[in-house]
Amino acid sequence: MPVYGGIECAKKVDGEKYLTPDQYRYAATELIKAKSDGIYLFKKFTSREEGEAAYEPPFGVLRDLGASSQ
């Protein structure tokens, strides 16, 4: 049975707004090292309806997740 590791994409509690691209890469690499069969992202959404306060996640990092560990 495959087991997938998750990366929660919600706001962080330490004052930072969201994960940086490097933090996504690090989390994915650690999950792969832990022998996860894959990775899923939880709560990956945009806030475009908030106008000037909107947040656009670093979508470009998605193509990198796990690539360096394989």
Query: In the chain, what is the straight-line distance between the N-terminal and C-terminal CA atoms, in Å?
Result: 20
Enumerate the domain spans of the chain.
Answer: 4-69
Tokens of 35: 């022998």
Would the pTM of this model clear 0.75, i.e. be above it? no
Per-residue pLDDT of the chain (70 residues; tens, 9 = 90+): 999 998 877 666 666 667 788 888 888 889 989 999 988 887 666 667 777 777 777 777 777 765 544 4
Inter-residue contact 5 to 34 (CB < 8 Å): yes
